[in-house]
């Protein structure tokens, strides 16, 4: 196997499913040894096992990214085996957290939902960067998963978009702080990624509305996001830092407009 990440060590959070699993698999396929971190042990193990089945190197790590001590320990465990972390993709997130209730209308929102969303989506990313920076060689790369919800309002979620927008400020802070060491930090902002689970969760009418919002006739897949993340983590993106890359098949690039006669 040879690729852009030969000899590199990568750490991907929320890698037990969805975007994180695809990014972990992509970085491994291009040569990285990957720490596959997730709150759910079964998910982390499944992603790591599938990487190993394809001849890659992966270590499953169970960790709650919102917990300072757990993050410190997870990073230390990876470093004990692989020596350092060259690439961080901070991707773990919650949306509509089942345990705490739903992230819906503000007036009926349980503050526990707001707090947990901020804890995982924002504090979690901060803790990952905090504990990874000391073990990242100069020239390393970080990508934080934001969302189109950071850039345009919606009427569905109260906390999620705010948490993902705050991440963009944090992305620029990290880029500013560590740029002199050649460490780059960028954010990706995907629209809803159409996984089979997402497709099942939406009605045909809702899917049609989503399609009408896109300029392109296709939705993004997790592999499309993985391609962008791998690019941003690679030396091909050596002059990109502090940026937000929207990946949404052209959802935010236009607005409804009617000609005035």
**Binding span for ligand ADP by CB under 6 A among 4-12, 37-45, 82-90, 239-247:** 37-45
Taken as a whole, the chain contains a residue count of 261
CB 185 → ligand ADP: shortest distance, Å? 19
Which residue lies nearer to ligand ADP by CB, 46 or 241?
46
Closest residue to ligand ADP, based on beta-carbon distance: 18
Question: Is 35 one of the binding residues for ligand ADP (CB under 6 A)?
Answer: no
Which residue lies nearer to ligand ADP by CB, 118 or 178?
118
The question of whether 160 is a catalytic residue gets the answer yes
Binding mask 155-194 for ligand ADP (x = CB under 6 A): --------------------------------------x-
Question: Is 144 one of the binding residues for ligand ADP (CB under 6 A)?
Answer: no
Question: Is 251 one of the binding residues for ligand ADP (CB under 6 A)?
Answer: no
Question: Is 38 one of the binding residues for ligand ADP (CB under 6 A)?
Answer: yes
CA 177, CA 150: separation in Å to the nearest integer?
A: 22
Name which position in 5, 8, 10, 16 contacts ligand ADP (CB under 6 A): 16
CA 79, CA 135: separation in Å to the nearest integer?
A: 8
CA 74, CA 60: separation in Å to the nearest integer?
A: 10
Question: Is 93 one of the binding residues for ligand ADP (CB under 6 A)?
Answer: yes
Name which position in 65, 87, 113, 150 contacts ligand ADP (CB under 6 A): 65
Q: Which long-range contacts (CB under 8 A, 24 or more apart) does 165-172 make?
A: 166/118, 166/122, 167/121, 167/122, 167/125, 168/244, 170/122, 170/125, 170/126, 170/129, 170/144, 171/144, 171/146, 171/242, 171/244, 172/242
Q: Nearest Cα to 28, choosing from 45, 14, 12?
A: 12
Question: Is 18 one of the binding residues for ligand ADP (CB under 6 A)?
Answer: yes
The end-to-end CA distance of the chain, in Å, is 61
| Sequence-ordered strand ranges (E) for 49-170 | 57-62, 87-90, 141-145
CA 52, CA 116: separation in Å to the nearest integer?
A: 33
**Binding span for ligand ADP by CB under 6 A among 63-71, 79-87, 100-108, 177-185:** 63-71
Name which position in 12, 14, 58, 146 contacts ligand ADP (CB under 6 A): 14
Name which position in 88, 94, 150, 175 contacts ligand ADP (CB under 6 A): 94
Question: Is 43 one of the binding residues for ligand ADP (CB under 6 A)?
Answer: yes
Q: Nearest Cα to 5, choosing from 25, 23, 24, 28?
A: 28
Name which position in 1, 6, 40, 112 contacts ligand ADP (CB under 6 A): 40
Q: Over the range 28-62, which residues count as b (16 or more CB within 10 Å of their CB) and which as e?
A: bbbbbbbbbbbbeeebbbbbbebbeeeebbbbbbb
Number of residues that bind ligand ADP (CB under 6 A): 22
Residue 102 is encoded by which pair of tokens? 């739903």
Q: What residue ranges bind ligand ADP (CB under 6 A)?
A: 13-14, 16-20, 38-40, 43, 63-66, 92-94, 120, 124, 193, 195
Catalytic sites, residue numbers? 160
């Amino acid at each position: 196997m040879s690729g852009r990440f030969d000899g590199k060590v990568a750490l991907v959070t929320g890698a037990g499913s969805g975007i994180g699993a695809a990014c972990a698999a992509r970085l491994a396929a291009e040569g990285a040894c990957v720490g596959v971190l997730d709150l759910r042990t079964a998910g982390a193990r499944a992603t790591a096992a599938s990487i190993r089945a394809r001849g890659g190197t992966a270590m499953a790590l169970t960790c709650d990214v919102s917990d300072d001590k757990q993050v410190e320990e997870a990073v230390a465990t990876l470093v004990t085996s692989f020596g350092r972390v060259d690439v961080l993709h901070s991707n773990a997130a919650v949306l509509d957290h089942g345990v705490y209730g739903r992230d819906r209308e503000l007036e009926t929102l349980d503050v526990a939902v707001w707090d947990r969303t901020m804890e995982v989506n924002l504090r979690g990313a901060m803790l990952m960067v905090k504990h990874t920076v000391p073990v990242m060689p100069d020239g390393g790369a970080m990508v934080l998963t934001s969302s189109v919800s950071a850039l345009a309002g919606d009427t569905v979620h109260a906390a999620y978009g705010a948490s993902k927008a705050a991440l963009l400020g944090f992305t620029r802070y990290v880029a500013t702080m560590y740029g002199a060491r050649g460490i780059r930090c960028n954010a990706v902002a995907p629209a809803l990624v159409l996984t089979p689970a997402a497709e099942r969760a939406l009605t045909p009418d809702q899917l049609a509305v989503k399609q009408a919002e896109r300029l392109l006739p296709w939705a993004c897949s997790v592999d499309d996001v993985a391609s962008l993340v791998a690019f941003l983590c690679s030396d091909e993106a050596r002059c990109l830092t502090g940026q937000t890359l929207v990946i949404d098949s052209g959802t935010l690039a236009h607005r409804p407009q009617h000609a005035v006669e």
